[in-house]
Structure 1
Amino acid sequence: MAVAADVKLEGLRAATDKLDQISENEKSGFISLVSRYLSGEAEQIEWSKIQTPTDEVVVPYDTLSAAPEDLNETKKLLDKLVVLKLNGGLGTTMGCTVPEQEIVEKYSNSDIEIHTFNQSQYPRIVTEDFLPLPSKGKTGKDGWYPPGHGDVFPSLNNSGKLDTLLAQGKEYVFVANSDNLGAIVDIKILNHLIHNQNEYCMEVTPKTLADVKGGTLISYEGRVQLLEIAQVPDEHAIKRLVEAEALKMEIIPNPKEVDGVKVLQLETAAGAAIRFFEKAIGINVPRSRFLPVKATSDLLLVQSDLYTLVDGFVIRNPARTNPTNPSIELGPEFKKVANFLARFKSIPSIVELDTLKVSGDVWFGSGVTLKGKVTITAKSGKLEIPDGAVLENKDINGPEDL
């Protein structure tokens, strides 16, 4: 078996060396990842060693010290911080295609310094012969893939941005997905990391039924481990671990099919790096810090009167007494952003809504209010909800039910 793996790796290495679309760093990173995968290096978790993390390992948010009241002290903390937004979640399921460069350009004349860099691109591996797909003539974007957000650490280093930021005296980086509108800088967390010299902090929050993805923090052999917001301070922790090639996160094999050809993508997750940093912790943060917009049902929540934008903070409406958000299920007619926006003259009021399920050719007028449990089904043709309608605990199947 080992010989076959060696042959596979050498053939892949030779073919990858001939690809001119990627840098030497990307080639090296790709071959290293594949080598680890073929060697079967991935660790097997011994279930008997898993322990529930203590409050020292996963710190309750309400036990954190208050942020400094002195503005100068706060400024000193923030001067050490870089905010890094990952654009991996592009909202492709909603019909979005690219991160908008225009947003970055809006700040070109401000005193905010914005750097951009691309993560690595690795060639997809053809399952049948274990050769890179681009070497077979598939040179377009379908031949390549981004190797997961675990790639943020080497990419930050390889781009030269890490050295630039370190030279500016930056010591901490707050990493969050751009689609998580709840992921804002928290001085209390930053202050805690500085005072306790934690090299890495992962924010965790209680799961809901909607959270089928994502890991769980465990204590394993004396360290915290993931079984993804990272806040990584420096002694220069990222640089030290990247240069020592010590960030060997668990490999996630992701089989795909491209134009009928079975391919393999090998990925890593940023959160899995937690076990390589010293004094790494989790912080059990309020659910309000996790507000991802991955589908139009999420977009309906944040565009409604349930949330307002105050000084860049997405604030939940205090009039909502239920601590959980409404459960919203929209039919395929609402899946793309353009269609979603076209079907609402204005976003309904949902402060008192518990559940909403919409299916069929439904169109909403302006000033609609939804309360309790509402189901709207267009069983035959177009169904219009009139302007100003108040629907409370209703099951609507046609105009006669309005």
Structure 2
Amino acid sequence: MTKRDAENELVRELGNLESTATPESRERVKSEFTDFTKLFQKFLQDQGPSVAWEQIQKLPPDSIRDYDSLQEPSHEEIRMMLNKLIVVKLNSGFGTSMGCHGPKSSIVIRNDLTFLDLTVQQIESLNKTFNVSVPLMLMNSFNTDADTERIIRKYRGLDVNIKTFNQSCHPRICRESLLPIAKNCDIDEDIDSWYPPGHGDFYESFHVVVYLMNL
């Protein structure tokens, strides 16, 4: 099979999959499949390492400033900068390799507090200290979204505005045929036939959610 044939076959199968999506999700599925097709095209065109290590050089010495040489901003300057800040945490992976059966952010790390507990505490402290409202956004996946929504209920009384959004959901492909394993768009029917495409998907997913939430 030529690369062109493989791409055409994939597009055809993705079209079949898209037709099984619900009317409410079809637009999102179409967009995610378009992005997946671009990744598949890069996979077909791959000619070797993606990083040319011999071209990587150290930054010039004068491009790095010592922290102690920086002028300390005033309280008001800090507050103005914080008013432009959104804290985003990537929350799409499980913590199975660390003995956790839920999102990695729910792993207890110190004094019975989880990663997410400490993050929320730090942001709440910033908000109170500088009288601001820095929001916390969690990028979930279809693997972690339901668990995360249950977890964040305990923060409702705190001075932190927590929002969540899901990163893309892409179909796994068969190694031999290079075609999607899934037979329809019902992820719950065969969850192992789908995968969240990793942290590199943040920019596209965040672009979509910023547009939808009008941030």
Q: TM-score range by the shorter chain?
A: 0.5 to 0.7
**C-alpha separation between the residues in 2 aligned to 1:64 and 1:127?**
54
Correspondence for 1:152: 202
**C-alpha separation between the residues in 2 aligned to 1:44 and 1:35?**
14
Give the fraction of aligned pairs with identical amino acids, expressed as a percent. 30
Corresponding residue to 1:17 among 8, 12, 15:
15
- Of Structure 1 and Structure 2, the greater strand share is in 1
Q: CA deviation at 1:23?
A: 1.3
Q: Secondary structure at the match of 1:38?
A: helix
The amino acid that maps onto 2:192 is D
Q: CA deviation at 1:160?
A: 4.2
Deviations 1:135-186 (A, max 9, x none): 3899411001111101011011223457622xxxxxxxxxxxxxxxxxxxxx
Deviations 1:102-136 (A, max 9, x none): 44223334442221100001001101111001038
Correspondence for 1:141: 191
**C-alpha separation between the residues in 2 aligned to 1:100 and 1:163?**
19
Q: CA deviation at 1:14?
A: 1.0
Asked if 2 retains the 8 angstrom alpha-carbon contact of 1:156 and 1:162, the reply is no
Correspondence for 1:112: 160
Correspondence for 1:97: 102
Q: CA deviation at 1:71?
A: 1.9
**C-alpha separation between the residues in 2 aligned to 1:64 and 1:23?**
50
* Compared CA separation, residues 83 and 55, structure 1 to 2 (3 A): farther
* Compared CA separation, residues 13 and 66, structure 1 to 2 (3 A): same
* Compared CA separation, residues 95 and 155, structure 1 to 2 (3 A): same
Matches within 5 A, 1:64-213: 65-68=70-73, 70-93=74-97, 94-98=99-103, 99-135=147-183, 139-160=189-210, 164-165=214-215
**C-alpha separation between the residues in 1 aligned to 2:47 and 2:29?**
25
* Compared CA separation, residues 81 and 162, structure 1 to 2 (3 A): farther
**C-alpha separation between the residues in 1 aligned to 2:199 and 2:83?**
25
* Compared CA separation, residues 64 and 107, structure 1 to 2 (3 A): farther
**C-alpha separation between the residues in 2 aligned to 1:64 and 1:124?**
50
Corresponding residue to 2:43 among 37, 40, 58:
37
The number of equivalent residue pairs is 161
Asked if 1 retains the 8 angstrom alpha-carbon contact of 2:94 and 2:100, the reply is no
The CA RMSD measured in Å over matched residues stands at 2.9
The amino acid that maps onto 1:85 is K
**C-alpha separation between the residues in 2 aligned to 1:53 and 1:80?**
28
The amino acid that maps onto 2:163 is H
* Compared CA separation, residues 105 and 136, structure 1 to 2 (3 A): closer
Correspondence for 1:62: 67
By relative contact order (CA 8 Å, sep 6+), the higher-ranking structure is 2
Deviations 1:314-367 (A, max 9, x none): xxxxxxxxxxxxxxxxxxxxxxxxxxxxxxxxxxxxxxxxxxxxxxxxxxxxxx
Q: CA deviation at 1:47?
A: 4.8
Matches within 5 A, 1:249-328: none
The amino acid that maps onto 1:62 is Y
* Compared CA separation, residues 48 and 119, structure 1 to 2 (3 A): closer
Asked if 2 retains the 8 angstrom alpha-carbon contact of 1:15 and 1:135, the reply is no
* Compared CA separation, residues 74 and 45, structure 1 to 2 (3 A): closer
Matches within 5 A, 1:323-338: none
* Compared CA separation, residues 136 and 117, structure 1 to 2 (3 A): closer
Asked if 1 retains the 8 angstrom alpha-carbon contact of 2:95 and 2:102, the reply is yes
* Compared CA separation, residues 89 and 130, structure 1 to 2 (3 A): closer
- Tell me which moved more, 39-48 or 3-12: 39-48
**C-alpha separation between the residues in 2 aligned to 1:44 and 1:158?**
27
**C-alpha separation between the residues in 1 aligned to 2:209 and 2:47?**
28
- Of Structure 1 and Structure 2, the greater helix share is in 2
Q: CA deviation at 1:66?
A: 4.3
The amino acid that maps onto 2:195 is Y
Corresponding residue to 1:7 among 5, 8, 16:
5
Structure 2, unaligned runs of 5 or more:
22-27, 104-146
**C-alpha separation between the residues in 1 aligned to 2:171 and 2:71?**
47
The amino acid that maps onto 1:65 is L
Structure 1, unaligned runs of 5 or more:
166-402
Correspondence for 1:50: 56
Largest Rg, 1 or 2: 1
Asked if 1 retains the 8 angstrom alpha-carbon contact of 2:6 and 2:178, the reply is yes
**C-alpha separation between the residues in 2 aligned to 1:45 and 1:100?**
35
The amino acid that maps onto 1:149 is H
